[in-house]
A and B are shown apart, each in its own frame.
Chain A
Amino acid sequence: MRRRPRLVGLLWRWHRRLGVLAAFFVLVLSATGIVLNHTAELGLDRRFIDWPWVIKAYGDDSGNLPAFQLGEHWLTRAANGRVYFDAQEVAPCSGKLVGAVVAGELLYAGCAEELLLITDSGELVESVNASTGLPVPLQAVGLIESQIVVQAGGIWWLADLDLMDFSHRAPAGGAVIRQLVPDQLPDAMRAKIPVPDQWLNWERLLLDLHSGRVFGRVGVLWVDGVGVLLVGLAVSGIAMWWLHRRRR
C-alpha cells in the first residue's frame, strides 16, 4: 500500500527535473514554430540577415578569398559557393577551397566535399564527390609527379579519375607531394567576381534552429532527444494524474 505514494514521489521528482531541462528547448521550438507558421505574413523569406558572424559561419567568407594561381589563371571560390576560373563562374563547390593543381590539360580544384575537373578554358568537365567515391572531407590536393593525390583524414590517396578509384594510399616516404600555396586573389581579379546577392534569410535561419540543423547532424539528433524528453514528460504527467485520481 505504501508503494504508490513512493512511485508518485519518484515520478513527481523526475517530472520536475525533466520539465526544467525541457523548458528552454520548448520555448525555442515554440517560438520558432509560431514565427515560421507566419513566414509569408512576416516576410521572413524576404528579410535578409546582415550579421557578418552568422553569414561567415554559414560558409560565406566574402572578405577573404583564398585563391590558387595556376599559370596565368586564378582559381578561387567566391562567397556564393561557386568556383571561379579568373572571373568566369565554373560550378558550385561544396566546402572551403583546399587546393588546386594542374595536371595534363586539366585543372583540379579541391573543395572540402568535392573535386572539380576543369578545362583550361574554364569549362567544368566533371564534379567528383563522396557519391562518386571521393574520400571527404578533403584537406588538400597535390601531385606526385603527374599523379593527382588527395588528402583526407590525414592520409594521402592516389586519385584514379578514369576508374574513380581512391582506395590506394600514396606511397609513404620518398615521394614528393607538390602542392600550391594559397594566395590572396589580386584586387583587379576580385573586382571582376560578382558580389553575391543576399541569400541568408530569416526563414532559413529559423528553420535550421527549429530542426536543429543549425548544429548539423548533432543538432538534429539533439532535437530528436528533446522530442523523446517531451514524450517522457507527457507519460509521467498522465501517470501521476492517474495515480493521484486513484488515491482520491
Chain B
Amino acid sequence: MLLMAAFSAVGEEYLGREAFLRQAFGDQPPGMHTLWLTEETRTAAKAALGWAPAALRLRYWQAGERTAWILEDIGKDKPITLGIVVVAARIERVEVLAFRESRGWEIRYPFFTSQFSGLALAPDGYLSQPVDGITGATLSVRAVERVARLALWLDAQVRS
C-alpha cells in the first residue's frame, strides 16, 4: 500500500508563488496582470521562438521595467513550473517552482539557474549566450531555455 500511495508523490514543489514574487518585487508585489494569447500573438511567438505555449491566457506581474512570469513547459513527460524575472529586457532570475519528472531536478540549483542572469533575447530568437547543460537532464535544460526565451519575448510584448 505504501508503494502504491507513494508512486504518485514523485513531483515536488520547491517555491510557492508568494515567495517567488517576494524575491522578485520585495514585500509588496504589484497586482497580477493577464495576457491573452490571440491567434496572432501565438503565430508571432512561433515565428520568433519556434514554439508557443498551449494556454490561451498567461499571468504576469509588472512594476516599471521589471516583469515576473510563472510559466510551464514539459521536460520529458511532465510540466516544469518556472518563475522568471525580467528587468529591462534581460533575465534577472530563474527559479524552478515545481518539478514533476523523476530525473533532471538538478536544474533547480543556482549553479544552473544563475547562468541565465543577464541574458537577453538575440535577434534569432535564442538566448544571447549559450547555457551549459547538465548530463542526464538534457530535456529539462531545454525546457528551461525555451521558457526563458518565451519570458523575454513576452516581456517585450507587454512593455512595447
Q: Which A residues are within 8 Å of any B CB, using their own CB?
A: 57-59, 81, 91-92, 94-95, 112-113, 117, 119, 123-127, 129-133, 162-164, 199, 204, 207-208, 213-219
Whether B32 pairs with A130 at a CB distance below 8 angstroms is no
Specify the chain B residue showing the minimal Cβ separation from A114: B79
Q: How far apart sit A199 and B56, CA to CA, in the bound complex (Å)?
A: 29
Whether A131 pairs with B56 at a CB distance below 8 angstroms is no
Q: Are A215 and B54 also in contact (CB < 8 A) when A131-B16, A208-B10 are?
A: no
Which of B94-102, B107-115, B151-159 forms part of the interface with chain A?
B94-102
Interface of chain A: mostly helix, strand, loop or mixed: mixed
B28, chain A: closest CB distance, angstroms = 16
Residues of A within 8 A of B34 (CB): 162
Whether A208 pairs with B55 at a CB distance below 8 angstroms is no
Residues of B within 8 A of A129 (CB): 81, 98
- Asked if B22 CB lies within 8 Å of chain A CBs, one says no
Whether B74 pairs with A92 at a CB distance below 8 angstroms is yes
Option from A94, A125, A216, A217 in Cβ contact (under 8 Å) with B56: A125
Whether A59 pairs with B8 at a CB distance below 8 angstroms is yes
Q: Are A94 and B78 also in contact (CB < 8 A) when A123-B56, A129-B98, A216-B9 are?
A: yes
List CB contacts (< 8 Å) of B1-26 with chain A: 2-4, 6-13, 15-17, 20
B109, chain A: closest CB distance, angstroms = 15
Residues of A within 8 A of B9 (CB): 216-217
Option from B3, B13, B20 in Cβ contact (under 8 Å) with A57: B3
Q: How far apart sit A164 and B29, CA to CA, in the bound complex (Å)?
A: 14
Residues of A within 8 A of B46 (CB): none
Q: Which B residues are within 8 Å of any A CB, using their own CB?
A: 2-4, 6-13, 15-17, 20, 32, 34, 54-59, 70, 72, 74, 77-79, 81, 83, 97-98, 100, 102-103
Whether B79 pairs with A218 at a CB distance below 8 angstroms is no
Option from B11, B57, B77, B97 in Cβ contact (under 8 Å) with A113: B11
Option from A95, A125, A199 in Cβ contact (under 8 Å) with B8: A95
Whether A119 pairs with B56 at a CB distance below 8 angstroms is yes
A120, chain B: closest CB distance, angstroms = 13
Whether B78 pairs with A81 at a CB distance below 8 angstroms is yes
Residues of B within 8 A of A95 (CB): 8
Whether B55 pairs with A127 at a CB distance below 8 angstroms is yes
Residues of B within 8 A of A162 (CB): 34
* A-B contacts besides A132-B59, A214-B10, 10 pairs, CB < 8 Å: A57-B3, A92-B79, A126-B55, A126-B57, A127-B79, A130-B98, A131-B13, A131-B83, A131-B98, A215-B6
Q: List 29 A-B contacts (CB under 8 A).
A: A57-B3, A57-B4, A57-B7, A91-B54, A92-B79, A94-B11, A94-B100, A124-B56, A125-B56, A125-B57, A126-B55, A126-B56, A126-B57, A126-B58, A129-B81, A131-B15, A131-B70, A131-B97, A133-B17, A163-B32, A199-B77, A204-B103, A208-B102, A213-B102, A214-B3, A214-B7, A217-B9, A217-B12, A219-B6
Residues of A within 8 A of B4 (CB): 57
Q: How far apart sit A112 and B9, CA to CA, in the bound complex (Å)?
A: 11
